[in-house]
Amino acid sequence: MESSKQRTSRTPSSAGRNSQSSLSVGSDSSRTGSKASHPVSFDPNTRFVMGKPEPPTDLPLLPMPSPVLSLDDLSKLVPGVQIPDRNYSGAESNSGIDRRMKSPVIESSPYLPSSAKLKSCDVYIGVHSSKPSLLRFAKWLRAELELEGVTCFAADRSKCKDAVAHSIVERAMDSATIGVVFVTKRSFSNAYSMYELRSFLSRKNLVPIFFDLGAADCLARDIIGRRGEVWERYGGELWKYYGGTEEEWKEVVNALSYMEGWKLEASLNKLRDCISEAIILLGRKLGRRSVVERAKRWMEKAAEEFPFPRNDSFVGRKKELLELELMLFGDLNENGRNECFELQNIQRRRVKNKDGAEMRLGTQTKGKEAVVWKESDVDIEMESNASLPKHFQLSAGKSGSRQTRRGQPTRATYRKGIACVSGERGIGKTELLLEFAYKFSQSYRMVLWVGGEARYVRQNYMNLLYLLEVDVATENQLSLESNKPRNFEELEGEAVRRLRKEFMRDIPFLIVIDNMESEKDWWDAKNIMELLPRFGGETHIVISTRLSHVMNLETLQLSYLSAAESMCLMKGTLRHIPAGEVSALRAIEEKLGRLTFGLALVGRVLSELLIGPQGLLDVIDQTPDQEAIGGADPFFRRHPFLIRLIELCLANIKQVDDIASRMVIASGWFAPAEIPVSLLTLVASSGGLQKQNKGSIWNRCLGAVTRRCFMFQKKWSEEESSNALIRWGLARTVTKQGYIQIHDTIRLYARKRGDTAVAYAMVQAINSKGSLLEHREHIWAACFLLFKFGADPAVINLKALELVCFVKQLALPLATYTFTNFSCCNTALELLRLCTQALEDMEASTFSHYDKKNNKSIFMGSLSTPTKKFNARLYKESTTLKAIIFEIRAKLMLQGGDPDIGQQLCRESISIREVLYGWDHPETIYACNTMGKLIRSQARP
């Protein structure tokens, strides 16, 4: 046993030090217990010697008086203590009067926030680094554990100010069941890290996490001898840095290398996997079976996070990927400083020259200057330089979000947690976002892909409630402000608030909103940004759009590929192209407008056809323009060559599989999501598409080209037809089995080429084979074709029987599902209203010639023999369905706190059922009970 002088210093020698505290946690500073040790504080001027681990009872106990501290004093000692400001606006401040003493509450630290006022904790997390990536990982791990009900205490002892803060950390270490300590390249030269490792090793409850470091690299002889790439810079006799002994230092390092099964390794390319392993390991050690099961279930969900597989043929965009990384993460350098790219105008001041005239420093005599990012270890400021590229310049105009008052600097900061990619249709925005998501998927708990089309974006976003297992109950609850039942606006706002709360934890998510068409919600014209979480948190948001500006966000304008990258796309799978054909490819590139989608399509055509680039160019030039399609959309008017290229692909597909070419035309009326191959084939096989895809012009133009490629035609299966579309580049593979997704440009072309007969076939297919859980987006697409939403007219009209079946089997369940699971109350109510209106219009047009007043008895008699003039069965089905819809709307009005309208709707339902069944029928009695609930809710004070 060593002498007391060589033991760890346990006296409060650093009480007056003013270093910043990283204490985060859950412990009460006034708590006492049998295992409570005394404050530990390390004085850099005192020699620190590591001693052998001793039980807490053998440590010298020094009596520590408990001083009477005010809240202000406590906040000065422990920066983790945050004192809420209780001064209200308009109240006078009495600085001379002492505040009333209250018990201190240790709340969130600016470094690692944790649970407050913990008497004991399950897991102690020791972090001794200011590296942003490590701090982000530590906060992520703590948040995951606390979400599972595991109490945590996270702290960086090197930032503790005094003995009080060290005492809190010591007590947390003693009470912790498991000690998690992050081991980095600098940990072995840190006194606090070595102390924590030795302490938990002696208790056999240490779980080390090697961050950006391999466990096999931690050998004492390699570190001392500076062997290997890692220790050539960070190695040496590290115990001398904090005044320890070589023997004890080697003992800790060697013990780490000999540990089996309890150590984890985390690197930047597998952060999520390490988090999952850590949660499962800690859950097993703590005996929490639910924690382990939930972690495994979440890993299964994360395996299906991407809508598309990774594009192995992704070309270029390295600079854009780097800019996205900087926008979201900032410049996180190895030294631990968060070097965000920040733009700030130089503060200008007036000075006098030798002649006495005033002049401004930092400006020129006339003209506006660009601003340049200047990187520095201390700050990043703007310099004047007119030779920068456009995307590295900040506009100095007076319009937009950059407009500020005179004398105030304009500031634009990276690492706000949101990035917006803007570009033309077919330029490659989705591919860029997909590549970024795959590249950085391990930095997030999950990638959440949201379709951004105007009619679907809100529901797609609220669908994340189900994915994140957020409970959104729509039962009638009282509003806190008015003490009345919540209205629909409050119900929707509560659902959005709960979803935003999930994203505002320290658990990072990546939300990808692909192809956002508008800043405003199509349903209620609200700003889409109101749905998103607060910017600057751990959750990051990436948006792709064709809009030039999205709110006040700085968009990353996506430009065209370089000449070499374009050539790589157009070559496709061809390894060699003769030098004489290169000029033909360049001509095709120019005629396509250098669109990335068109270039990739050329590569697919050259790979499938026995034709060279010059032959392909000649064939396309000989064909006339499709004026009907080109004049219908501005995009196709600008790119007529692309239309002819798409026609070429369809004509060649038709030579082999006629069904596959019809599938392309049918896709234009489906929702902008993955489409079931079975439904697409069903629509393509209908009689409405027989006249949609003739291809006579292309048969004359192609001539022997297609005959040499395809000698005979056979009947292909659904899978073979879908694979043909994927090979030709018209569709893309999705991760969901049995589905494909047609490219957005091809869908637009199909919609302009098809007519209402195709739309009618699509609605019929949905009506016969649609499923609410599997085809929800496409059922909505059918509703948009069938009903008149807002100013958009109805595209098709169903027969009476088909309309009743569609409303009963699909539209009505869709409305209730949308209201209950997504809290999209107004959307569901509008759909129910349109269903009622459609049924009433159908009855007016179908049964208006029949005098129903003289034939009420027909509802009580036989319904098996419908007459030519009046189909009693159909009329009863329609009327019963209306009564059901009226009652459902009344119940929803009850939940939304509007009983007046609910009573009117319920009366309609009761009157219909009294005529159909009588006043004593169970259905009528049930509707009367609903009316009673509405009356009682209205009478409630």
Query: Where does the pLDDT of residue 921 fall: very low under 50, low under 70, confident under 90, or very high at 90 and above?
Result: confident
Predicted confidence (pLDDT) at residue 31 exceeds the cutoff of 90: no
If you average pLDDT over residues 15-30, what whole number do you get?
Answer: 38
E strand intervals along 430-475: 447-451
This prediction has a pTM of: 0.78
Measure the CA–CA gap between 483 and 270, rounded to whole angstroms. Answer: 49
Instruction: Please give the pLDDT value at position 415.
Output: 61
Each residue of 567-582: pLDDT tens digit? Answer: 888 887 777 778 778 8
Query: Residue 138's pLDDT is what?
Result: 94
What mean pLDDT comes out for the span 516-524? 90
The pLDDT, as a whole number, for residue 690 is: 61
The fold adopted by the segment(s) 418-557 is: Rossmann fold (3.40.50)
| 659: three-class secondary structure by DSSP | helix
Name the 3-class secondary structure at 879.
Answer: helix
Report pLDDT for 235.
Answer: 87
Task: For residue 279, name the pLDDT band (cuts at 50, 70, 90).
Answer: very high
pLDDT tens digits, 191-228: 999 999 999 999 999 999 999 888 888 889 989 998 88
pLDDT (0 to 100) of residue 431: 94
CB 239 within 8 A of CB 50: yes
Let me know: does 26 contact 152? Beta carbons within 8 Å: yes
pLDDT above 80 (res 356) = no
In this structure, what token pair is assigned to residue 94? 């009495």
Is the confidence at residue 119, as pLDDT, over 60? yes
- Mean pLDDT (the chain) is 75
Could you tell me which residues come within 8 angstroms of residue 565 by beta carbon, excluding any fewer than 6 positions away?
315, 316
Query: Among candidates 647, 644, 567, 578, which has minimal Cα distance to 612?
Result: 578
Which residue in this structure is represented by tokens 């204490």? 23
For residues 742 and 733, give the distance between their C-alpha atoms in angstroms, rounded to a whole number.
Answer: 9
Token output for 323: 């800019």
* Strand, coil or helix: 888: helix
What confidence tier does 403 reach under pLDDT thresholds 50, 70, 90? very low
Is residue 21's pLDDT more than 50? no
Q: Determine phi and psi for 698, rounding to 5 degrees.
A: -70, -30
Token pair, residue 582, equals: 């290169």
CA distance 527 to 62: 61
Helix (H) or strand (E) holding 342: strand 342-344
Kindly tell me if the per-residue pLDDT of 163 is higher than 50.
Answer: yes
User: Which parts of 550-630 are beta strand (E)?
Assistant: 555-557
Least confident residue range of 146-150, 458-462, 515-519, 711-715 = 711-715
Q: Residue 89's pLDDT is what?
A: 34
- The pLDDT assigned to 344 comes to 36
Residue 741 is predicted with a pLDDT of 94
State the pLDDT at residue 803.
94
| E-only strand ranges, 460-531 | 510-516
CA distance 263 to 68: 43
Query: What are the domain boundaries of the chain?
Result: 342-413, 418-557, 561-622, 640-754, 800-939
Three-class SS state of 587: helix
Q: Is a pLDDT exceeding 60 seen at residue 295?
A: yes
CB neighbours of 428 closer than 8 A, spacing ≥ 6?
317, 558, 561, 596, 597
**pLDDT at site 361:** 39
At 811, the pLDDT band (50, 70, 90 cuts) reads: very high
More confident residue, 896 or 3: 896
Over residues 70-98, the pLDDT tens digits come to 334 433 443 333 333 333 333 333 333 33
The confidence score (pLDDT) of residue 823 equals 86
Mean pLDDT lowest for which of 56-70, 119-133, 150-164, 331-345? 56-70
Residues in Cβ contact with 458 at an 8 Å cutoff, skipping those fewer than 6 apart? 521, 522, 523, 528, 531, 824, 827
- Which pLDDT value is given to residue 68? 35
- What is the spatial distance between Cα 579 and Cα 812, in angstroms, rounded to a whole number? 63
464 pLDDT higher than 80:
yes
**C-alpha distances out from residue 29 to 117, 156, 468, 791, Å:** 8, 17, 36, 64
What spatial distance separates the first Cα and last Cα of the chain, rounded to whole Å?
A: 77
Q: How many CB atoms lie within 10 A of CB 313?
A: 11
CB 29 within 8 A of CB 176: no
Is the model's pLDDT at 747 over the cut of 90?
yes
How far is residue 925's CA from residue 929's CA, in Å, rounded to a whole number?
6
C-alpha span between 640 and 644 (Å, rounded): 7
Q: Could you tell me which residue, 393 or 206, shows the higher pLDDT?
A: 206
Phi, psi of 357 (to 5 degrees): -80, 145
pLDDT, tens digit, for every residue of 816-830?
Answer: 999 988 888 899 999
Polymer length of the chain: 941
Q: DSSP code of 478? A: B
Q: How confident is the model at residue 476 (pLDDT cuts 50, 70, 90)?
A: low
Main-chain dihedrals φ then ψ at residue 339, nearest 5 degrees: -85, 85
Q: How far is CA 728 from CA 17, 226, 637, 674, in A?
A: 70, 56, 23, 18
**Residue 779's pLDDT band (cuts 50, 70, 90):** very high
Buried b (16+ CB within 10 A) or exposed e, 854-892: eeeebbeeeeeeeeeebbbebbebbbbbbbbbbbbbbbb
* pLDDT tier, 507 (very low <50, low <70, confident <90, very high otherwise): very high
